[in-house]
Chain A
Amino acid sequence: MMVVFGIGFWGVARLIPPPVPSWSATELAGYLTEHQTRIRIGLVIAMLGAALGFGFPVAIMLQLRRIEGPASPLAYLQLVTGLLTPPLFIFPMFAMAASAYRPESRAPEITQALNDLGWLALVGFGGPAILQSIVIAIAVLSDRRADPVFPRWVGYFNVWAALLFLPGLLVICFHTGPFAWNGVFAFWVPLTIFTAWYVVMAAMLLRAISQEEREALPDSGATPVPVGQARLG
């Protein structure tokens, strides 16, 4: 997901770095008119990429279920919060697309308002991601199995990630500076951490899945741990 999204959003649309929030409406309208085609095509690619992200929380959920057992509230909570991520990418991008749809023939303030909606939503919707990371952290750190599904540091990493997503919520308060939607702490840090999180979780998921397959082999020598045997601390 991140790769396709990155190609679309960054490579083609050049929307990273984001347009400056403190631009006047006319400046913004001018920018969007000038780069219309690029932005539109890039957004189409990015939206496709975002849709690819639906499978990820499902995979995480299946692994968390191995920790918790059949009644696994944390796994489902993670699923729900994780499933919000692709829509929270796609919807803001639609707002950006709308602002770039016909900026040359409408009042710049309207264009700016749509653009604001898009960027504030894309950067500012940190809540579900924060909760998802916290839930993963709790589940990983309460894993009582001898051979844990995820290594312990993944839990701590998720706590750290959740903390770093937090400043993103401040974008609605600032037009400039490090907490604006193009700022260091509201945009770049969360973007970097989110990318790192994706890579880390993907690698750890592969590891956990191969562990699950090993345990399911009848002659592996390891007693497979049936779902539910690992107690929640």
Chain B
Amino acid sequence: MGGLRSVPGDRVGAVWVVLVAATLLSFWLGTDHGLGSAEARGVLILVVAFVKIRFVGRYFMELRTAPTPLRVLFEGWCLAVCLALIAFYLLG
């Protein structure tokens, strides 16, 4: 696939590898391995999920090169929802 490397910021293949690894990490954490308490694992899994979402937005949806208002909305959504879900999870 010649010509892919010439587009700046074009590292979608690497991003994909990172996303796959993050998925497997979450799976490992979620099936009761890793750190001590279930709460810590839960929070970590949620955080990982939103990191993955940022990658999908920035590289796959191509928001890295999008106008600032849109990027602000997207990142804002990620941050707000991540925090809200962690809050609901921990308060339960």
Direct contact of A and B (CB under 8 A): no
Residues of B whose CB lies within 8 Å of any CB of A are none
